[in-house]
Amino acid sequence: MSGEAFELRGVEKSYGDLSVLSGATARFEAGCAHVLMGPSGAGKTTVLRLLAGLEAPDAGSVACPAGARLAMTFQEDRLLDNLTATANVRLPHARLRGAALEAFLVRERAALAAVGLPVDCRPVRELSGGQRRRVAILRCVLADADALLFDEPLKGMDDATIAQVMDYVTPLLAGKTVLWVTHDPREKDLLPNPVLWTVRDGNVFKL
Amino acid sequence: MPRAGEKNPETGGRLRTWGVRLLAVAFWLAAWQLAAWAIDARIILVGPLEVLARLGELAATEEFWLSVATSLGRIGLGFLAGVVGGVLLAALASRVRAVRELLAPVMGALKAVPVASFVILVLLWVSSSELSVVISWIMALPIVYTNVCEGIAQTDAGLLEMADVFGLTGLDRVRLVYLSRVLPYFRAAASLALGLSWKAGIAAEVIGLPDLTIGEHLYDAKVYLDTPSLFAWTVAIVVVSVVLTAAVDRALDAGLRRWEARP
């Protein structure tokens, strides 16, 4: 993926009468972390959804590195309520069997313990909101992906939990394209040397 | 948490519930026995004691167990075919709108037409020995179809979007995303369909009179005014139904729990 990038070129996007992006242009280089900040409702999530291919622009174009494998956390947990935390984290690795599955399970259990989650057989519907959020983050960072998209992943977490989660997550982000959306400017300090962006007035600006 | 020497309120509550239920059953059994003594006409009403005695006699014969097995086998076959057909059609209908629209009136008719009409109609097309298979299939199919369709329709669009991002396709998408939502609907449908299939299948046997079946014995008991046998066979039907439903419910619940608890 080196040399390639996620790009918005003159992107316009509206929802009904509400114009969210108007001629947004930005190039997010691959292999490094990008933090997109801005007030609520500025269009940060829309940018992420466009880059993930979940939305089509009304005008302009969106480019993604060819063959890039994506992983993402959404504003909601989007977990499979009936399954355990490990089964949810393993979702992007649905084809694992035998020894490979066992090896990944060991890694998953270590990850759950590292971010302070219980390692048991409970379905995730029995976990608290904060615990579910951490499961969603682990599903994203343990996916075999080239680009990781985070939509306000730490929302609602206390500082101690954030520190615990980032201690585990940060080394896993090295060398990957990270697009991190937040409305909390303090989060830019959690990632190593991120490229900072702000989304406002329907456009995306590099800071 | 109860202290030592105190009764667990949950256990106490369960015992009280069962106690009340047993008392209610005992009340109605006593009322039934008193009514039988008061009427004093075996041809109209026999008491539970006599019914139990007759059931004991029947259960000692090979014919009784062969008849139960035959009815159970045929109705079970129809039920399973209905479950499989319902699931496959629901999967197809959820994917292809034309199929869904095409099947809507058929499923509506299957649910609305009285069982007796179906029995007589189907008897024109198949032999009496296959009748209960077809009727139980007709009973199970629309219930399973409707519930599984509902489960698929209720699958969260956000989860499907998540599956798209993570590149989850084909069977993995069905196995992990859809199954998670559909299983509770399927469990409820299977339990309901089983009870209905069993009752409708026996009714079909009473009309079609295939050899060596529960329905045939019920009919014979009615023709020969053998009221004790009529009641005894009816009790046997109820017992099989209760045991079967409980066994299937437990198996489905255990399967669901195991599926949910896998690491």
Q: What is the pLDDT of residues A27-53, one digit of tens each?
A: 999 999 999 999 888 999 999 999 999
Q: Is the pLDDT assigned to residue A1 strictly greater than 70?
A: no
Q: How confident is the model at residue B93 (pLDDT cuts 50, 70, 90)?
A: very high
Please give the full DSSP string across chain A, using - where no structure is assigned.
-TT-EEEEEEEEEEETTEEEEEEEEEEEETTSEEEEE--TTSSHHHHHHHHTTSS--SEEEEE--TT--EEEE-SS----TTSBHHHHHTGGGTT--HHHHHHHHHHHHHHHHHTT---SS-BGGGS-HHHHHHHHHHHHHTS--SEEEEESTTTT--HHHHHHHHHHHHHHHTTSEEEEE-S-GGGGGGSSSPEEEEEETTEEEE-
Strand order across the A177-181 sheet:
A70-73, A147-151, A177-181, A33-37, A195-200, A203-206
pLDDT at A16: 93
**B13 pLDDT band (50/70/90 cuts)?**
confident
Is the model's pLDDT at A148 over the cut of 80?
yes
Residues 177-236 of chain B whose Cβ lies under 8 A from any Cβ of chain A: 177, 180, 183
**pLDDT at position B261, please?**
83
Nearest to B168 among A52, A84, A91 (CB): A91
Tokens 């009815």: give the residue.
B71
Are the CB atoms for A15 and A72 separated by under 8 Å? Answer: no
- pLDDT of the residue at B256: 86
Residue-wise pLDDT for B180-234, tens only, equals 889 989 999 999 999 999 999 999 999 999 999 999 999 999 999 999 999 999 9
CA-CA-CA-CA dihedral for A84, A90, A92, A95, to nearest 10: -110
Mean pLDDT of B86-91: 97
Lowest mean pLDDT among A80-94, A180-194, B5-19: B5-19
Condensed to tens digits (0 to 9), the pLDDT of residues B27-68 reads: 999 999 999 999 998 889 999 999 999 999 999 999 999 999
Q: Which of A54, A83, A121 has the CB atom closest to B161's CB atom?
A: A54
Q: Say what the pLDDT of residue B1 is.
A: 46
pLDDT digits (tens, 9 = 90+) for A51-72: 999 999 999 999 998 888 999 9
Query: Under CATH, domain A1-69+146-154+175-207 is a member of which superfamily?
Result: P-loop containing nucleotide triphosphate hydrolases (3.40.50.300)
Q: Which of B165, B168, B183 sits opposite A94 (nearest CB)?
A: B168
Q: Say if A137 is an interface residue toward chain B (CB within 8 Å).
A: no
Where in chain A are the domains? 1-69+146-154+175-207
Query: What pLDDT is attached to residue B42?
Result: 86
Is the Cβ pair A95, B172 closer than 8 Å?
yes
In this prediction, residue A4 carries a pLDDT of 81
Inspect the interface and report whether the beta carbons of A94 and B176 lie closer than 8 Å.
Answer: yes
Q: Is B167 on the interface with A (CB under 8 A)?
A: yes
Give per-residue pLDDT as tens, A15-26: 999 999 999 999
